[in-house]
Amino acid sequence: MAIYNYRARDQQGRVTAGAVEALTENEAAELLKDRGLFVLSLNKTSKRKRQGLNINIGRVKQKDIVIFSRQLSVMISATVPIVQSLRILAQQTSNPLFIEKISEMADDVDGGMKLSSSLGKHEKVFSRFYVAMVKSGETSGKLDEVLQYLADQMEKDYDLVSRIKGAMIYPVFIVVGMISVGFIMMVFVVPKMTAMLKETGSELPFLTRVLIFISDFMKDNWIFILIGLVVLIVLFKLWVKSKAGQIAWDSIKIKIPLFGTLFRKIYIIRFTRGLATLISGGVPIAKALGITAEVVDNKAYKQLVLDTVDQVEDGKSVAALFATSDLMPKMLSQMMIVGEKTGRLDTILEKLSDFYSREIDNLVAGLTSLIEPLILIIMGVGVGGMVAAIMLPMFKVAQGMA
């Protein structure tokens, strides 16, 4: 497959430009002719070259997709044709990579492809969840409402992640600063201070000997320590990307003291919000669960949701498996059972999502309040221990001289 850039004249005599994907130049010309266009120029552009360009340009951010969804919703509700809407959005978007993706989608839709099918070709930009929702909007004739709803949900997800990151910036900054200052002290400052203690020849306290040993080791091997840290980080990232590593790390994350509860609530919100959105969009429950399993982004929760799909296909309750699992709160399964019985499962899930979102706000605030004094205590113990290890021998030497 190759991509051909074209300039053509439509049936109203207007000159348009764009790109079309085809095997040969003749096939590209035929595709444009089928669209009612008279080709003025047609130039081949290597698809591989374009993809290489994408790597250098960057990536499409969630914020870009939110703006795209909201603007496309407004245009469709104003009865602007989808192809024309996409071309307008391509001109208004500042992200070069996203401009190219939107232009390709405009060409696909102009060639008779459904918008959802065109979105599905760009799986690195639009998730299965997003594509499924757009497809449901096309089927129900409420594409503008679905796009607006998607923008709202994505904004909620973005706000959730932003709140958590914002709350963790200060503690992370303090920890990184404390480790950096401690490393510099042990490598460059402490050796000069302990050199005087060694010259006295007197017996040093155990705490001082430990400090000198650690300081000498770090001073003599600091390059290897830094290289080792970099290697460990790289190996950890490679391990996490592997299939076995992903399963193990996802299981570890939800069991980490203090932060395990936070991770659990994040995954539960992704599940409830995603499933509520799909059900309200008219997606069948079994298919909605399968898509939501991908949205959760945790192997343990994903497997639980996929097992639930099998239960639903066998005619059992959606919440039956959740009621017996330690991964889901009892309240969630009980509320889902109520939602199934009343036929308002999507509404119940939305309320659960809002509830757990407030729970995360409280949890993050509590963690921040707990972490700050904990860091200060650790810092005080470290600094106090270092001062004591250096000052005690000096006091002994001073007393001996007196």
Bridge-based pairing of strands 38-45 and 2-9 is antiparallel
Whether 162 shows a pLDDT value over 70: the answer reads yes
Q: What is the pLDDT of residue 201?
A: 66
Which of 105, 101, 17 is closest to 58 using CA atoms?
101
Q: What is the pLDDT of residue 292?
A: 85
In tens, the pLDDT along 359-384 reads: 888 888 787 777 778 888 888 888 88
C-beta atoms surrounding 258 within 10 Å: 12
Sign of CA dihedral 202, 205, 207, 210: positive
The phi and psi torsions of 311 (rounded to 5 degrees) equal: -65, -45
302 half-sphere exposure, CB direction, 13 A CA radius: 12
Confidence of residue 348 (pLDDT cuts 50, 70, 90): very high
In tens, the pLDDT along 196-240 reads: 777 766 677 788 888 888 888 888 888 998 999 999 999 999 998
Q: What is the pLDDT of residue 1?
A: 53
Q: How far is CA 259 from CA 22, 167, 293, 331, 363, in A?
A: 51, 13, 22, 21, 9
Q: What is the pLDDT of residue 21?
A: 66
Q: What is the C-alpha separation between 391 and 277, in angstroms, rounded?
A: 64
Q: How far is CA 225 from CA 80, 172, 219, 222, in A?
A: 61, 21, 10, 5
Tokens in use for 56?
């250098």
In tens, the pLDDT along 90-99 reads: 888 888 888 8
Whether 308 shows a pLDDT value over 50: the answer reads yes
Q: pLDDT: is 365 or 333 the higher one?
A: 333
Confidence of residue 335 (pLDDT cuts 50, 70, 90): very high
C-beta atoms surrounding 16 within 10 Å: 15
Burial grade of 133 (CB within 10 A; 0-12, 13-18, 19 or more)? buried
Task: Decide: 305 and 325 in contact? Cβ < 8 Å.
Answer: no
Q: What is the C-alpha separation between 321 and 301, in angstroms, rounded?
A: 12
β-bridge partners, 39: 8
Q: What is the C-alpha separation between 335 and 321, in angstroms, rounded?
A: 14
Q: Please compute the mean of the pLDDT values over residues 114-138 and round it to a whole number.
A: 85
Task: Decide: 262 and 364 in contact? Cβ < 8 Å.
Answer: yes
User: Which residues contact residue 322 at a Cβ distance below 8 angstroms, ignoring those fewer than 6 apart?
Assistant: 304, 308, 328, 332, 333, 336
pTM above 0.85, yes or no: no
Among the listed ranges 16-30, 66-80, 318-332, 334-348, which one has the minimum average pLDDT value?
16-30
Q: Please compute the mean of the pLDDT values over residues 25-46 and round it to a whole number.
A: 76
Burial grade of 344 (CB within 10 A; 0-12, 13-18, 19 or more)? middle
Q: Which domains are present in the chain?
A: 1-57 (no CATH), 169-402 (1.20.81.30)
Burial grade of 1 (CB within 10 A; 0-12, 13-18, 19 or more)? exposed
Q: Please compute the mean of the pLDDT values over residues 333-339 and round it to a whole number.
A: 90
Q: What is the mean pLDDT of the chain?
A: 82
What secondary structure letter does DSSP report for 234?
H
CA angle, 328 then 329 then 334, to 5°: 105
C-beta atoms surrounding 39 within 10 Å: 17
Whether 303 shows a pLDDT value over 70: the answer reads yes
Q: What is the pLDDT of residue 200?
A: 66
